[in-house]
């Protein structure tokens, strides 16, 4: 269950280390948001899978929609001088914690079921 994201992160990091790119200074906070969005998507996908209603297209669309909305908000906030991106950060964080707690519950329930089955 947890192996897939961990393997993915390791593989991505390896590819990233091989690539010479880095984030331009100006877009630093946007990538921070993108990172949050991906973390949110990973946990959201895991939770959906555990609940049994994972739909690939929905996953991809919601991931990009969330990321774009967050980045757009941040950009809008920058242009009018208000830190709206903080709102996106908070929203993503809350979602991540919610998803994490749900995943935890599922995993605990599954573990108990297995224990009782045995």
Partner 1 sequence: MSKHNWKIGVGLASMLLGMLLVFQFRTETNIKTYLPQFTTASELGIKWNRMQTDLNKKEEELKQLRQQLQEYNRDEEMKSLRMAAGVTPLRGPGVEITLTDVQRPLKSYEDPNLFIVHYDQLELLVNELWAAGAEAIAVNGVRLVVQTGFSCAGTTILVGTRKLAPPYVIRAIGDAATLKAALTIPGGFIDSQIRPFELGIKIEIKDSLYLPPYKGSSVFNYAEVVPEEPVETTVADGEGEAEAVDAVESWEGTGEGEVF
Dist CA 64 CA 110 (whole Å): 31
Binding positions for partner 1, 44-73, rule CB under 8 A: 45-46, 48-49, 54-56, 59-60, 63
Beta carbon of residue 56, minimum distance to partner 1 (angstroms, whole number) = 4
Query: Among candidates 89, 115, 82, 80, which has minimal Cα distance to 30?
Result: 89
Residue-wise burial string across 25-40, b where 16 or more C-beta atoms lie within 10 A, e elsewhere:
eeeebbebbbebbbbb
| Residue nearer to partner 1 on the CB measure, 39 or 73 | 39
Q: How far is 68 from 41, CA to CA, in rounded Å? A: 13
Work out whether 96 is an interface residue with partner 1 (CB under 8 A).
no
- Residue span binding partner 1 (CB under 8 A) among the ranges 39-47, 79-87, 92-100, 105-113: 39-47
Q: Is 91 helix (H, G, I), strand (E, B) or coil?
A: helix
Q: Give least dist CB 46 to partner 1, A.
A: 6
Residues found near partner 1 in the complex (CB under 8 A): 4-17, 19, 21-25, 28, 31-32, 34-35, 38-39, 41-42, 45-46, 48-49, 54-56, 59-60, 63
């Amino acid at each position: 269950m947890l192996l897939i994201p961990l393997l993915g992160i390791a593989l991505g990091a390896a590819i990233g280390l091989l690539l010479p790119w880095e984030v331009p200074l100006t877009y630093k906070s946007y990538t921070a948001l993108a990172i949050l969005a991906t973390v949110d998507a990973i946990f959201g996908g895991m939770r959906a899978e555990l609940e049994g209603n994972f739909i690939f297209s929905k996953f991809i669309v919601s991931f990009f929609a969330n990321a774009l909305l967050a980045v757009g908000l941040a950009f809008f906030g920058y242009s009018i001088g208000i830190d709206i991106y903080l709102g996106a950060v908070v929203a993503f964080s809350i979602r991540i914690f919610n998803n994490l707690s749900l995943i935890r519950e599922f995993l605990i329930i599954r573990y108990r079921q297995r224990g009782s089955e045995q």
